[in-house]
């Protein structure tokens, strides 16, 4: 009887201990995930919805011969990127047309009409799909680009050269989980003034495994016919 009682007591202690450990681990992990998601979501909203009377919520107005634009990168693997041109939301979570990797929109630089948009998984996808998407676009079209999660694992030399020829100074330097926002012109062949890049660095990352969100806004000249 005495041994039986000791055995039952030991089983109860073990059960309580396992239950407590599971609950603690689950709740802590859940708290971290939800906390991270809330922070990332709040940062994206702050970056893309600042109070402003200017187009795209920009800090400064643009003249009639310029487009107002804003590009916001993704936040880690939680919140996707967004792009705005002259108060028109082109790509975003709301429009459900963004995804992991490189998000790109081609735009008529004269009238602001969107030719096409697409997103390409550069972690587990095929870079051939990205090249098939971009190659038919005529020289002179404007492109807006924002990354989300990982833009570089599957990126090859041909794709990097394509972006470099659009005016990018960082396409050749993109690495795993870097953040990148860019506005260039197909075949421009000169450096674009509209580009930001931040490296994935374990010592400086804002999030666990990812760098901070990038935001870029400004006024880009309309193309003359």
Residue for token digits 């107005």?
Answer: 61
Question: Residues near 132 by Cβ (< 8 Å), separated by ≥ 6?
Answer: none
d(C-alpha 72, C-alpha 108), whole Å? 20
Strands, E assignment, the chain: 66-72, 82-85, 88-91, 101-107, 114-120, 142-148, 179-185, 195-198, 215-221
Are 146 and 81 spatial neighbours (Cβ–Cβ below 8 Å)?
Answer: yes
Q: According to the model, what pLDDT value does residue 222 have? A: 95
d(C-alpha 88, C-alpha 108), whole Å? 14
27: helix, coil or strand?
helix
- pLDDT tens column, 203-216: 989 888 889 999 99
Q: According to the model, what pLDDT value does residue 4 have? A: 52
- pLDDT tens column, 64-73: 999 999 999 9
Instruction: Establish if 34 belongs to a structural domain.
Output: no
Instruction: Establish if 195 belongs to a structural domain.
Output: yes
Instruction: Establish if 183 belongs to a structural domain.
Output: yes
Measured in residues, the chain has a length of 225
Instruction: Establish if 121 belongs to a structural domain.
Output: yes
Instruction: Establish if 16 belongs to a structural domain.
Output: no
- pLDDT tens column, 10-43: 545 544 444 444 334 433 333 333 444 454 554 4
Q: Pick the range with the lowest mean pLDDT from 15-19, 79-83, 139-143.
A: 15-19
Instruction: Establish if 12 belongs to a structural domain.
Output: no
Chain mean pLDDT for the chain: 84
Average pLDDT over residues 120-136: 98
DSSP 8-state secondary structure symbol assigned to residue 224: P
Q: According to the model, what pLDDT value does residue 34 have? A: 44
Are 84 and 62 spatial neighbours (Cβ–Cβ below 8 Å)?
Answer: no
Q: Pick the range with the lowest mean pLDDT from 51-55, 82-86, 111-115, 193-197.
A: 51-55
Instruction: Establish if 170 belongs to a structural domain.
Output: yes
HSE, side-chain direction, 13 A CA sphere, residue 158? 9
Are 44 and 83 spatial neighbours (Cβ–Cβ below 8 Å)?
Answer: no
For the chain, first and last CA: distance in Å? 97
Instruction: Establish if 65 belongs to a structural domain.
Output: yes
Q: According to the model, what pLDDT value does residue 206 have? A: 87
Count structural domains, the chain. Answer: 1
Are 182 and 168 spatial neighbours (Cβ–Cβ below 8 Å)?
Answer: yes
pTM: 0.78
- Residue-range definition of the domain harbouring residue 129: 52-221
């Amino acid at each position: 009887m005495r041994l039986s009682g000791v055995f039952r007591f030991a089983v109860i202690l073990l059960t309580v201990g396992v239950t407590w450990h599971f609950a603690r681990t689950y709740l802590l992990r859940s708290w971290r995930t939800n906390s991270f998601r809330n922070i990332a979501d709040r940062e994206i909203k702050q970056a893309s919805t600042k109070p402003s009377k200017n187009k795209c919520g920009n800090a400064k107005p643009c003249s009639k011969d310029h487009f107002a634009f804003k590009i916001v990168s993704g936040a880690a693997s939680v919140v996707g990127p967004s792009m705005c041109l002259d108060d028109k939301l082109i790509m975003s979570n709301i429009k459900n047309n963004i995804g992991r990797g490189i998000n790109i929109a081609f735009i008529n630089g004269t009238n602001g009409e969107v030719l096409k948009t697409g997103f390409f998984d550069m972690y587990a996808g095929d870079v051939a799909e990205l090249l098939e998407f971009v190659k038919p676009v005529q020289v002179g079209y404007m492109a807006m680009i924002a990354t989300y999660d990982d833009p570089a694992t599957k990126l090859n030399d041909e794709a990097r050269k394509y972006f470099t020829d659009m005016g990018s100074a960082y396409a050749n330097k993109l690495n795993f989980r870097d953040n990148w926002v860019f506005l260039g012109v197909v075949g421009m062949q000169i450096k674009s003034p509209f580009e930001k890049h931040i490296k994935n660095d374990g010592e400086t990352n804002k999030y666990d495994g990812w760098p901070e969100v990038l935001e870029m806004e400004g006024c880009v000249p309309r193309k003359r016919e």
